[in-house]
């Protein structure tokens, strides 16, 4: 893991580990694996000296996923999602990479501010590389403001591939459902406009279980197509070099199975896990949940 770029450095230093991770999840029964490209855009590779390998590393991420699928899913379909996100972008007014003290203009992890045009170019560039490399669809995994989420979905849709439009949400201190980490936009405020950009699936991702549960009925008010839910485990060590063994996850694997059953009963069609929900959480879902939902 890299403090600035998070996971894509592993494509350069530990590619076989990345492939093995894909294989492990295929063995656990997943139907979709996601390329290790969530933070592999220009804005993340440049600060760590890997900008010259932008195309190579994104292509490698797809090839590793394809190799894992070819090796471990010979008798069933497994689909590859190409992940594109606004991770690391400092543009569009509201950015997660500005100091949390809004009176300060300091940027976190030595980030550089880019123009809105450059930010959109970065996203289109990565989406096009992944599409040309042969992913089955693009996962637009946006965690920032409404403007940045628009850019991510727009970039993915422009490739012509199917798009899963992802939304991170959170419950604030007053119980209000908001988007992103610190955005002042409510979750509901821009759903119609963003989903109209051309998504085939709407997802709620990288959100706590509690926020995901609260967001599902709100999403259903605005979207009649398929809905996917893949929350995170609400851990603080998912960007750390090593997992904190002294910290317990808020829900155990059996508890997560019951939560996901309830989501399916309330209309969710796609279930998974994001940061912190590892193999022991995902494997039981294969037997506990229906293979297909009408």
The CATH number covering residue 90 comes to 3.20.20.330
Does residue 293 sit within a domain?
no
Q: Is residue 3 part of a domain?
A: no
pLDDT band at 274 (very low <50, low <70, confident <90, very high): very high
> What letters, b where the CB count within 10 A reaches 16 and e where it falls short, cover 213-230?
bbbbebbeebbeebbbbb
Residue 1 lies in a domain: no
In this predicted structure, the answer to whether residue 97 has a pLDDT above a threshold of 70 is no
pLDDT of 184 reads 84
pLDDT at 237 > cutoff 90? no
Residue 204 has pLDDT above 70, yes or no: yes
Strands (E), the chain: 32-34, 79-84, 137-142, 163-167, 169-171, 177-179, 201-205, 227-230, 270-271
Cβ neighbours of residue 199 under 8 Å, at least 6 residues apart? 140, 153, 157, 163, 164, 165, 225
Please tell me the predicted confidence (pLDDT) of residue 90.
Answer: 87
pLDDT of residue 127: 99
Q: Is residue 82 part of a domain?
A: yes
Res 202: pLDDT? 98
Pick 47 or 266 by higher pLDDT: 266
DSSP SS3 for 142? strand
Length of the chain: 294
* 83 against 144, higher pLDDT: 83
Q: What is the pLDDT of residue 73?
A: 97
Residue 33 lies in a domain: yes
Query: What's the pLDDT score for residue 101?
Result: 45
Q: What is the mean pLDDT of the chain?
A: 90
> What average pLDDT does this structure show over 163-174?
95
- Domain tally for the chain? 1
Say if 119 falls within a structural domain: yes
* 2 falls within a domain: no
Q: What gap in Å lies between CA 213 and CA 231, rounded to an integer?
A: 10
In a domain, 250, yes or no: yes
Q: Are strands 137-142 and 79-84 parallel, antiparallel or unpaired?
A: parallel
- DSSP structure class, residue 116: H
As a whole-number percent, the residues of the chain with pLDDT over 90 amount to: 73
Supply the range of the domain harboring residue 258: 9-288
Bigger pLDDT: 263 or 1? 263
pLDDT band, very low/low/confident/very high, at 94 (cuts 50, 70, 90): low
Q: Tell me the pLDDT tens digit for each residue of 174-194.
A: 999 998 888 888 999 889 999
Other CB atoms within a 10 A radius of the CB of residue 278 amount to 17
Mean pLDDT of 228-234: 94
Please tell me the least confidently modeled range out of 94-108, 205-219, 244-258, 266-280: 94-108
Q: What is the pLDDT of residue 216?
A: 98
Residue 229, CA distances (Å) to 189, 209, 219, 274 in order = 19, 9, 11, 9
Which pLDDT value is given to residue 106?
43
């Amino acid at each position: 893991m890299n403090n600035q770029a998070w996971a894509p450095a592993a494509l350069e230093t530990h590619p076989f580990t990345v492939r093995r991770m894909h294989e492990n999840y295929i063995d656990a029964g997943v139907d979709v694996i996601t390329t290790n490209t969530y933070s592999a855009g220009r804005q993340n590779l440049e600060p760590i000296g890997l900008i010259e390998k932008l195309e190579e590393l994104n292509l490698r991420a797809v090839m590793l996923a394809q190799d894992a699928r070819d090796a471990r899913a010979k008798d069933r379909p497994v689909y590859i999602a190409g992940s594109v996100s606004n991770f690391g972008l400092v543009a569009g007014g509201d950015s997660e990479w500005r100091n949390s003290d809004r009176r300060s203009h300091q940027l976190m992890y030595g980030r550089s501010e880019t123009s809105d045009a450059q930010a959109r170019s970065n996203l289109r560039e990565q989406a096009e590389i992944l599409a040309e490399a042969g992913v089955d669809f693009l996962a637009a995994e946006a965690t920032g403001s409404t403007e940045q989420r628009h850019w991510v979905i727009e970039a993915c849709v422009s490739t012509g591939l199917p798009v899963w439009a992802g939304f991170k949400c959170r419950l604030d201190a007053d119980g209000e459902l908001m988007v992103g980490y610190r955005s002042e936009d409510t979750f509901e405020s821009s759903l119609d406009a963003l989903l109209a950009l051309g998504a085939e699936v709407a997802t709620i991702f990288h959100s706590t279980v509690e926020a995901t549960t609260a967001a599902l009925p709100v999403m259903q008010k605005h979207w009649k197509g398929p809905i996917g839910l893949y929350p995170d485990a609400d851990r603080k060590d998912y960007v750390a070099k090593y997992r904190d063994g002294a910290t317990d996850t808020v829900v155990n694997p059996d508890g997560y199975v019951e939560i996901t059953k309830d989501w399916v009963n309330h209309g969710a069609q796609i279930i998974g896990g994001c940061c912190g929900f590892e193999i022991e959480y995902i494997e039981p879902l294969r037997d506990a949940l229906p293979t297909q939902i009408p």
